[in-house]
């Protein structure tokens, strides 16, 4: 029985090269290729491959963050990287193997045969090995989240926190609030603290989100009423029951959007 595998690399030549090498291994079946970390998380979690050839340094979401965001059972991982400091680290933390670019056909086959032996033995070893890797690469501090660009999908806001990647449905977002050097993204009865500017959030959120104040960006779909509710101050009342101030400079924009 063939082992299913996935390629994850942001460089097309690298993906094509791995595809060619995999086609020569009878025991491997390539089921998907991914060009970025976000796509990889979705594909790996849904397809549940036996083995992943994973680049480490990729824009937005790196290979270690991909691993930390996978659900169990996790696949075996062979790292492919042009950076030897990452490769050595991965090897020392019990990754199945690493391939330092550019690598030879023989080196690829050696790593693949090692992975196939593990796949054919005890599946639980994959989770044990990757958990060790996650424990050593996940930040231990309570750092705030960071927005991750995901232009291919405008239905979710994607952020990284604690070394993991998280997604929140855009429809669940109520409003964004300026908070010192951060922004608070409010959704349902919770919020995410993200280290981004309000300007950056304006640029990344879809058109139903508009600025109503220097401190607020609101989801128009969550607005129940607009008026002077307290002390003659312009405010919006959200369906959640929260009130947000509307400044004079943004009032006309809000009125136009609600009309």
What is residue 61's DSSP assignment?
A: S
* The overall pTM is greater than 0.85: no
Per residue in 5-40, pLDDT (tens digit) is 999 999 999 999 999 999 999 999 999 999 999 899
Domains (ranges, CATH) in the chain?
3-137 (3.40.50.2300), 146-258 (2.40.50.1020)
More confident residue, 73 or 247: 247
User: What's the pLDDT at 87?
Assistant: 59
Per residue in 196-240, pLDDT (tens digit) is 889 988 888 888 999 999 999 999 999 999 998 877 789 999 998
Handedness of CA 108, 26, 15, 66 (dihedral sign): negative
Residues with Cβ within 8 Å of residue 209, at least 6 apart in sequence: 173, 176, 202, 217, 218, 219, 220
What are the E-state strand segments in 114-245?
Answer: 146-148, 156-161, 164-169, 173-179, 182-187, 190-194, 209-213, 216-219, 223-230, 233-238, 243-245
Give the integer Cα–Cα distance in Å for 110 and 104: 10
- Identify the band that residue 92 occupies on the pLDDT scale cut at 50, 70 and 90: low
Residue with tokens 């996978």: 70
Structure tokens that stand for 239 in this block: 């369906």
Per residue in 161-201, pLDDT (tens digit) is 767 787 888 888 999 999 877 888 898 778 888 888 899 88
Give the integer Cα–Cα distance in Å for 66 and 163: 9
Q: Is the pLDDT of residue 152 over 60?
A: no
**What value, to the nearest 5°, has the Cα angle with vertex 146 and ends 222 and 36?**
100
Handedness of CA 230, 232, 236, 237 (dihedral sign): positive
More confident residue, 59 or 134: 59
Q: What is the DSSP string of 29-54?
A: EEEEEESSHHHHHHHHHHH--SEEEE
């Amino acid at each position: 029985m063939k082992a299913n595998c996935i390629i994850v690399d942001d460089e097309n030549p690298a993906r094509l090269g791995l595809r060619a090498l995999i086609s020569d291994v009878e025991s491997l079946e390539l089921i998907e290729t991914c060009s970025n970390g976000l796509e990889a998380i979705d594909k790996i979690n849904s397809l549940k491959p036996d083995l992943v050839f994973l680049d480490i340094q990729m824009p937005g979401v790196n290979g270690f963050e991909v691993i930390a965001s996978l659900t169990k059972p996790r696949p075996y991982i062979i790292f492919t990287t042009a950076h030897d400091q990452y490769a050595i680290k991965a090897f020392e933390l019990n990754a199945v193997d690493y391939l330092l670019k550019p690598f030879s056909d023989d080196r690829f086959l050696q790593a693949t045969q090692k992975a196939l032996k593990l796949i054919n033995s005890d599946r639980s070893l994959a989770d044990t090995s990757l958990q060790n890797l996650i424990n050593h690469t996940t930040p231990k501090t309570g750092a705030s989240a960071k927005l991750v660009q995901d232009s291919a999908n405008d239905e979710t806001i994607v952020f990284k926190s604690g070394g993991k990647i998280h997604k929140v449905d855009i429809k669940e977002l109520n409003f964004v609030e300026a908070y010192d050097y951060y922004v608070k993204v409010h959704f349902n009865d919770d919020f995410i603290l993200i280290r981004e500017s309000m300007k950056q959030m304006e640029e990344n959120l879809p058109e139903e989100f508009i600025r109503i104040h220097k401190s607020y960006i609101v989801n128009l779909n969550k607005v129940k009423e607009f008026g002077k509710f307290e002390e003659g101050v312009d405010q919006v009342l959200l369906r959640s029951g929260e009130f947000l101030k509307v400044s004079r400079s943004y009032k006309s924009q809000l009125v136009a959007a609600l009309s």
